[in-house]
Structure 1
Amino acid sequence: MISSVNTELSLLGIASADIVMAGGGAGVDSTPFVFTLENIVAA
């Protein structure tokens, strides 16, 4: 499933960051995966 999603995330100007994935799960109450950057340190 995840290999079929083609989303680009530009890391230009970022020295380090945490990539946080939320969502997913099983059942009718599951939510889509969401990816965010946290603790960003600029280059």
Structure 2
Amino acid sequence: MDTVWLFILLASAMVVLFDFTNGFHDASNMVASVIASRAMSPV
């Protein structure tokens, strides 16, 4: 039973880490598309 909880915690930690790093990629893509469409200036 302890190994099951260890795997659940490990999987949960991996999911949280993936979501955290994926947020950085999503934010940079959003800013790049706004700048490329010239809706806003880079400054």
Q: TM-score range by the shorter chain?
A: under 0.3
| TM-score normalised according to structure 1 size | 0.21
TM-score w.r.t. the length of structure 2 is: 0.21
